[in-house]
Amino acid sequence: MINIAKPLMGAEEKQAVLDVLDSGMIACGSIVSEFEKEFAAYLGTEHCIATTSGTTALEVGLRALGIGKGDTVLTTPFSFIASTNSIIYNGATPVFAEIDPDTFLIDPGSIEKALEEHPETKALLIVHLFGLTCDMDAIMEIAGKHKLLLIEDCAQAHGAAWKGRKAGTFGDVGCFSFYPTKNMTTSEGGAVVTHNAETARRARLLINHGMEIRYHHDEIGYNYRMTNICGAIGRCQLKKLEGFNEARREHAFYMNSHIDNPLIETPVEPDNARHVFHQYTVKVALGHRDAFIKHLETNGVGYGIFYPLSIPEQKCYAEMGFETEWPVTDTVKQQVVSLPVHPGLTDEEVAEVVRVVNSFRG
Ligand SMILES: Cc1ncc(COP(=O)(O)O)c(C=O)c1O
């Protein structure tokens, strides 16, 4: 079986965890601070606040920007649910704009239309889905023109870039996940990054029960602190991230140039973008996906369907009255299949994925 994902843990990670255990300082401490400095330096941003997950990073990122009850946040209907949940956790209202059918990313033209309908919008929460950056020229122009706060969900985009500038460094905050299947991991974990000192101060306060002076709680916060054990894994993984991303890109471009099945559309890397292929997501001709995934299963190729439903149509939001018809998203969600692209694949395995995809006859 060729797995869809495989976290790569080496001797370095194991030793680093043992060192933390031996130190006795296993909760949040100096190892996390080092990881934060190194991750900020890697991205080219001023501040990094490590958290317990990508979800908590998003929740805190929005709240640190002052987004709360009565605010409207525009986002994508095609993502993992955490991006929209973070808006709802803060008591704000999500509204949606369509995606581009080729990149799967929020469509700037559709954002402009949605803003006409929702002129009260305060913030834009974009998702660099599957490892590909949104069109940041268009997004920055829209955010500037409409004076919107900008949140980048970079849970799937560690090291992705637009014109050489890394995802997470454009917005008022960038939010990362270090879940095991991501381009780098800390086991569970996340981070908020920002250029703004006050936003960073507020995020740091919120992840530590609103406490700057010991047992003086200035506001109601949370315990969303990363542990030193996670930080130690993260420091090792960060050193390997560029190598991991290069391997993902090599596998993806090999598949792009060798898959020649007319029923399968391979992913694109637009000009100006550096795709880090968190997922290698193909589109299967409409009506053929069930047969395709059966074919993958029969031939031992792992896959994922990210995502089978749009966010607004999720059952948990049934009472919220969201617009549930998104024609582009609703077509794409019936076509997408993500294939193995992770850095642990051998050349033979990548060639086998291509062989299996090309042998599908519908
Ligand atoms: C786009 C997106 N946003 C947010 C998250 C949430 O991250 P976590 O699972 O670390 O809470 C994920 C994780 O899968 C994600 O893919």
Q: Find out whether the beta carbon of 127 lies less than 6 Å from any atom of ligand 1.
A: yes
Most ligand 1 atoms within 8 A of CB, residue of 4, 51, 55 to mutate: 55
Identify whether the C-beta of residue 284 lies closer than 8 Å to the C-beta of residue 361: no
What count of residues does the chain have? 362
**Mind listing the pLDDT tens digit for each residue in 54-85?**
999 999 999 999 999 999 999 999 999 999 99
In angstroms, the CA 314 to CA 294 distance is 25
Q: Find out whether the beta carbon of 154 lies less than 6 Å from any atom of ligand 1.
A: no
**Torsional sign, CA 267, 269, 270, 276:** positive
* Alpha carbon nearest to ligand 1 atom 8, residue: 54
In angstroms, the CA 84 to CA 72 distance is 12
Q: Find out whether the beta carbon of 184 lies less than 6 Å from any atom of ligand 1.
A: no
Q: Find out whether the beta carbon of 233 lies less than 6 Å from any atom of ligand 1.
A: no
From the CA atom positions of the chain, what is the Rg in Å?
20
Distances (CA, A) of 228 to 3, 199, 360: 29, 23, 47
**Cα 306 to averaged position of ligand 1 atoms, centre (Å):** 12
In angstroms, the CA 79 to CA 270 distance is 19
Sorted by where each starts, the structural domains of the chain and their CATH numbers stand as 11-97+104-236 (3.40.640.10), 241-358 (3.90.1150.10)
Q: Find out whether the beta carbon of 177 lies less than 6 Å from any atom of ligand 1.
A: yes
Percentages helix, strand, coil for the chain, rounded to the nearest 5?
A: 40, 20, 40
**Mind listing the pLDDT tens digit for each residue in 82-126?**
999 999 999 999 999 999 999 999 999 999 999 999 999 999 999
In angstroms, the CA 38 to CA 51 distance is 15
DSSP bridge pairs for 338: 281, 304
**Cα 24 to averaged position of ligand 1 atoms, centre (Å):** 30
Q: Which atom from ligand 1 is nearest to the alpha carbon of 53?
A: 10
Which among 180, 136, 152, 183 has a CA at the least distance from the CA of 279? Answer: 183
Pull the structure tokens for residue 118. Answer: 């929702």
In angstroms, the CA 146 to CA 301 distance is 46
pTM over 0.85: yes
Q: Find out whether the beta carbon of 175 lies less than 6 Å from any atom of ligand 1.
A: no
* Alpha carbon nearest to ligand 1 atom 14, residue: 80
**Cα 155 to averaged position of ligand 1 atoms, centre (Å):** 5
Which among 200, 217, 226 has a CA at the least distance from the CA of 65? Answer: 200
93 CB-near residues (< 8 Å, 6+ apart): 71, 72, 73, 87
DSSP string over 333-361: TTTEEEE---TT--HHHHHHHHHHHHT--
The type of residue at 230 is C
Q: Find out whether the beta carbon of 55 lies less than 6 Å from any atom of ligand 1.
A: yes
Pull the structure tokens for residue 52. Answer: 């317990």
Cis bond before residue 224 (omega within 30° of 0):
no
Residue by residue, pLDDT tens for the chain (362 residues) are 999 999 999 999 999 999 999 999 999 999 999 999 999 999 999 999 999 999 999 999 999 999 999 999 999 999 999 999 999 999 999 999 999 999 999 999 999 999 999 999 999 999 999 999 999 999 999 999 999 999 999 999 999 999 999 999 999 999 999 999 999 999 999 999 999 999 999 999 999 999 999 999 999 999 999 999 999 999 999 999 999 999 999 999 999 999 999 999 999 999 999 999 999 999 999 999 999 999 999 999 999 999 999 999 999 999 999 999 999 999 999 999 999 999 999 999 999 999 999 999 98
In angstroms, the CA 254 to CA 258 distance is 6
